[in-house]
Each structure stands twice: as C-alpha cells, then as structure tokens.
Amino acid sequence: MQDKNTKETDKKEGTEEKVKAKKRLTLGRAHVAMLSVSATVLVFILAFSCYGCSYQPISPPTPEEAEVTFKGLYSSTWELDTAMGVTSLTELNDIAVLKFVIASKHTENESASTTMYLKDMPPVLVELVYTEGYGFSIESGGQTFAVKLLYSASKDGKSETLTMIGNESNIHCYYLKK
C-alpha cells in the first residue's frame, strides 16, 4: 500500500513539474518588439509629461514688470519650440512664426523693432509694444495682430520662454531664448 501511495505521489510530483514546465513563457520576436515599443512610449510619457511644470504661471505683466521684462527682451533671439511640432495660429493665417529677433528699444516709446521669421516666407519687420493689462503685442503698419506675447522664466531661472497666444484660437506657441 505504501508502494502504491509512493507511486501516486511520484506521479503527482511529475505532473506538477510538467505543469510548471508548461507554464514557462516564451517570447517571440513580435512579443519582444511590442514590449520594447511599449517601454519606449512609457519612458517618453514619463519624461515629457511635465513639459511645462518648471514654468511660472503666465499672466500679463504690470508696468514695472514690463519695464524689467523689456530690458531682458532687447537684443535677443527666440526660436519656436518644435518639441510638439510646428504650431501656427489662425490669427496669422496659419503661417508659423519660426523665430523672433528683438532689436534694441526705441527711445520715443516702449517698443522694440522685431523681425519675425515666417515659415516659407520672407521675414517681416514688426514692432513689439507693451499694453498695460494686456501684455506685449505685435504691430505692423498701424495694425495690431490679434495675438499677444507673454514672457516667463522657469522657477530655477535657467530657461526663459516667450509665449505667443492667439486671441480667438487660444493656441499657444512657445519660443525659447537662444
């Protein structure tokens, strides 16, 4: 009888080993590829999900803040941040502004000559003007574009951003100082 029990126990152990062996998972090339793509996507989501977290909230500057901001904007170049693609505003006929080059201050008023570099078009000379309660706007030939520019700096002070916002579309284009 013990012999019989021993044989049954041996059979059960052998069966359990086979079951354990059968549960072993083998990954084919397709599985490895899918896992690799999933891991890569997860890494990008984690890395770029807090893209704008280091920037202070954007609000129109007071006249005192505008004066300080203008001093930082003079003689600077700002390039479109294309991390999320090239964005354009309907207010500017869906023409992307790739770069702003802001010259020195005009002595007669609070403005600066600015060159806008447009995608697939020649550069355009405009004026960067401060309006209290609104922020910075762009004017050309007496016409004010339906956009505003807001300046912000990261909390650690290592990066600065110029944001162009469409008045109607509320689309944000981010420019980094070069």
Residues 6+ apart with CB under 8 A from 134: 60, 148
d(CA 79, CA 118) in angstroms, rounded, equals 11
The candidate with the shortest Cα–Cα distance to 148, out of 164, 132, 159, 128, is 164
pLDDT of residue 157: 76
- Percentage, residues of the chain above pLDDT 70: 78
Model pLDDT for residues 118-163, shown as the tens digit of each residue: 999 999 999 998 888 888 899 988 889 999 888 887 778 788 888 8
Q: Is the distance from CB of 47 to CB of 39 less than 8 angstroms?
A: no
In terms of Cα–Cα distance, which of 154, 114, 118 is closest to 136? 114
Which candidate, 129, 66, 126, places its Cα nearest to that of 97?
126
